[in-house]
A and B are shown apart, each in its own frame.
Chain A
């Protein structure tokens, strides 16, 4: 079969899959949990405003030795790692055409999109001169030696790709249901026609963006690891390695599916539907393999560099390293090797959660715990304001997620009906 005919027959099955049609949930937005999130988001917003009015020093515990703290370690580095569900499921469902996994691609895409959006917002709060955040886009400022430049450019491009990938969902929401307010109502038919045209055009090129998204993700995940290559004298040898970019990439890939599992199960709980265990369990079958590859390379590298001896110091970094490796990698690896764990609701959730938590722990270790600058006069521990902003951002992200699945066709019809039934009960 020629390539072109393949394209036309399978224009990347993102939304033309009728048996797995997605619909918006459309249940009341506010619940008790949502109010808690709103409160946390407001507190974080308050601290962020305080930071903009009175400077970074007023809200953070950052020092001249510690230029990067919680916001870079968690909001940015971990945010990016946890968005890996987006490109891993896109690769699985759209590039390797595993049809069965189509139902999870939209929630995963939404998480990645929101994740990256919040990485950008987190960065904005952290940058001293946030109003110059656009500088790296202009060729005048390009600095090709800077790893951070690569990171920044990848964020810009990947965010664009993610929004393009989301367009079909927006089109699907409005096509045939355009309802402009008041005087604009006359334009409804025209708007609908235009949307259909646009949607057709986007469909034709969507495959380009889907592959681009995967490539950009690989570059971006690995370049986040490269960031620390420039600090060989500062980063603890338990983490500093010339393989850092590869390790960051592999751990992100291994975290992609567990993140989808965690997020689906949390959503199921919040919207009161049964998680699609048959899909999630199958998805989890790949995790031991992916996590195993990471584990082998991580440990092999430590042995090759003779770095394991640093564990024997049993200092803070060593304990943090052991925690990251055992709780975040080895135990969930062992758990997910067992079929009964993968088939069990609780087992699958907690094993996946440990991996997600483990990758966050790893990023925090690389950027905060294992980072030991010389001449540090006071040890860094994040301030209340830093925690508040980070928690506020995560809460806002969850609220946006809820809003999006409530108003756009993200979840498959089957479970949405279950959720609606649970509400009307």
Chain B
């Protein structure tokens, strides 16, 4: 292959690359504008979980199990030994409570437990919704993220995408496996503005239901009123672009099972890239046009065979 033709081939590669590269750059710059365009979630429904109030009674787990008609667990909800292990929500439990001992023993040489309820965070900018290939994950206008098994093809990309690692899968169901996660009791309660089952069941009012705006006001008020009781942070206010479920805590969130999350929503980059590549199909069409022109301009030349020979001759010379 002569240098001209190598250059041409590289031209092709360069072109395809440039398209992707350019879109990458656009994406980087478009981040800011894109996220500000994203909906403001002040009126989405959410919950504030006050971990300083939670006593780990598992009433929320039980209520969730009942309202969603989930399979009965092996041991009853009164069995507190399950708290000895770290658990994650799974296909048969949309929410679980975990126990942590974030601090060293107190003056009485006792460890003080902190309990944390885990469920879907109902993100403002949900990765699962952005990822889903068929729109089976949907963000309702009220805020809750719900799932439609009739659309789902079971690709499990939502599970790969979710930064909180929430969606679980019915791996042992061979015919109609579903993605399972907290649905915020949307159909039953929250679509009409009623409290979800777990929040109602809580004997300590550790879970408060309301709009995101109201909850943020409430949370700030609590932090202001009892500065000794809370760290000055509302988990979920900004994490991953903000979530509908938010948490208050008395201690560093990293010590009670929360990942340190960045503020930018995770779907921004892929969505911007996708939209710039497919904006009026311009980049693909441009690549098509370039290739078509290349195809018709690069007429086969009759002296091509000689090239091979001269090359082989060159090789022979080298080997002599």
Contact = CB atoms under 8 A, between A and B. Distances in A.
Interface of A: 1, 3, 6-7, 10, 13, 51-58, 60, 62, 64-65, 67-68, 91-92, 94-100, 126-130, 132-133, 135-136, 141-150, 152, 207, 210-212, 214-215, 218-219, 222, 226-227, 229-234, 242-243, 245-246, 249-250, 253, 278, 282, 285-286, 289-290, 293, 339, 343, 371, 373-375, 377
Contacts, number: 252
Interface secondary structure of B, over-half rule: helix
B200 interface: no
Nearest to B89: A64
Contact of A64 (B9, B159, B304): B159
A191 to B, nearest CB: 33
Given A127-B155, A373-B165, A146 B132 contact: yes
B13 A290 contact: yes
A233 B159 contact: no
B201 interface: no
Given A57-B171, A67-B157, A95 B152 contact: no
B154 A127 contact: yes
A99 B284 CA distance: 27
A92 to B, nearest CB: 6
A425 to B, nearest CB: 29
B298 A97 contact: yes
Given A141-B151, A230-B130, A242-B24, A129 B295 contact: no
B174 A52 contact: yes
B300 A54 contact: no
A289 to B, nearest CB: 7
Contacts of B159: 64-65, 67
Given A95-B298, A146-B130, A339-B318, A242 B173 contact: no
A377 B87 CA distance: 9
A150 B274 contact: yes
Contacts of A148: 131-133, 155, 157
Given A132-B153, A148-B155, A293-B13, A141 B315 contact: no
User: Top 3 A-B pairs ranked by shortest CB distance?
Assistant: A128-B154, A57-B171, A67-B156
Contacts of B164: 374
A3 B287 contact: no
B160 A97 contact: no
Contacts of B133: 135-136, 141, 143, 146, 148-149, 152
B83 interface: no
29 contacts: A52-B174, A55-B177, A62-B169, A67-B156, A67-B169, A68-B157, A92-B9, A95-B12, A97-B299, A127-B153, A127-B154, A127-B155, A129-B152, A132-B151, A132-B153, A141-B151, A143-B134, A146-B131, A147-B270, A211-B288, A226-B270, A230-B160, A231-B266, A232-B266, A234-B160, A242-B27, A245-B20, A249-B17, A289-B6
Contacts of A243: 21, 24
A6 B300 CA distance: 10
B278 interface: yes
